[in-house]
Structure 1
Amino acid sequence: MTIRTATMADLPRVTQLEAACFPAAEAATETSFRARLAHYPNHFWLLEEGEALVGFVNGMATNQPHLTDEMYACAALHSESGAWQMIFGVNTHPAYRRRGCAQRLLQRVIADAKAQGRKGLVLTCKEALIHYYAKFGFLDEGVSSSQHGGAVWHQMRLTF
């Protein structure tokens, strides 16, 4: 398996995998991914096995310390020199789950954020996944103000 950053040519596969991983109310649209790929393709990591897209992680860099719903909606808020790497989604194809794929991607994203001199990473997750992200050193900061998809989200932060 290999990890690389995305290009606009990956748009159809990324959109399809997102739809397989998240409920419709929470899944990013093709339009949203198009904007993200236009603004920060090197903050969009793909895990592939041969020609198959196994998983991906994406998110903008910003100086704002908290992940907001506005960030999901407006890719132009990305700041390449931002202090914090936000993570908008950790996606693994259902056929590849429980094989360490998300772990592999997250380790790469964490390493890249450190190498880029960021303060750390921020993501939101549902309560059931708090323990998973805690394995990487993320700390639960409590319920987020996010209304994304109508779900309850916890903000998690990994500070270097």
Structure 2
Amino acid sequence: MNVNNNNTLIIRKATPADLDIVTSIEATCFPSAEAAPRKAFEERLAHYADHFLLIFDGETPIGFIDGFVSDEMVLTDEMFSDASLHNPKGSWQMIFGLNTLPAYRNCGVAARLIEAFIHLAKEEKRKGLILTCKDKLIHYYAKFGFVNEGESVSDHGGAKWYQMRLTF
């Protein structure tokens, strides 16, 4: 799929009614060992739906970015599984997932989501954003100003992760 007209891309905050959308996209984008289960998304949407951004190509949902807010300086595995740790007044916007359906990859969809999440964090006066990624994506996030802080404490899904931070 080639998104030729970025005007057809619409980004909006999620609601709990979007549970089926995010669950389906996550299952398509991540291996089962790394994909968050439906129950986790149900809890995340209940605690911080306003920190989920969905992107649509017209009426078709094609991706999302999500994560809660915290004063913690390190993104831990516990954060992925305990949505109640969300602190609406926290300093740091975490990124737990960036998902783009395979047919829409490599045409700027993920970049639009990252830029929108950065804008939201700035608007909410956060100190910045924190994420973890695999080594093959370090260069991608660096393009947006994220700095690699080395190996993460996370072993989510049995993979090796690196923590990256964008500070405003």
Tell me if TM exceeds 0.5: yes
C-alpha distance in 2 between matches for 1:8 and 1:62: 21
Q: The residue matched to 1:47 in structure 2 has which SS?
A: strand
Matched, 1:2 2:10: yes
Deviation at 1:122, TM superposition (A): 0.2
Matched, 1:146 2:154: yes
Alignment of 1:117-136 (within 5 A): 117-136=125-144
C-alpha distance in 2 between matches for 1:52 and 1:34: 21
2:35 to 21, 27, 32: 27
Match of 2:44 in 1: 36
Matched, 1:104 2:112: yes
C-alpha distance in 2 between matches for 1:49 and 1:145: 36
Matched, 1:66 2:74: yes
- The one-letter code sitting in structure 1 at the alignment partner of 2:96 is F
Deviation at 1:49, TM superposition (A): 1.3
Q: The residue matched to 1:82 in structure 2 has which SS?
A: coil
Deviation at 1:45, TM superposition (A): 0.3
C-alpha distance in 2 between matches for 1:122 and 1:13: 24
Equivalent pairs counted in the alignment come to 160
Percent of pairs with identical residues: 58
- Larger mean Cα displacement after TM superposition, 49-58 or 113-122: 49-58
Q: The residue matched to 2:44 in structure 1 has which SS?
A: helix
Q: The residue matched to 2:20 in structure 1 has which SS?
A: helix
**TM-score (normalised: structure 2):** 0.94
Deviation at 1:147, TM superposition (A): 1.3
| CA deviation vs aligned residue, 1:53-99 (integer Å, no higher than 9, x gap) | 11100000000011000100100000001000000000001010011
Gaps of 5+ in 2: 1-8
Q: Provide the alpha-carbon RMSD of the alignment.
A: 0.5
Match of 2:6 in 1: none
- 4+ runs deviating over 4 angstroms: none
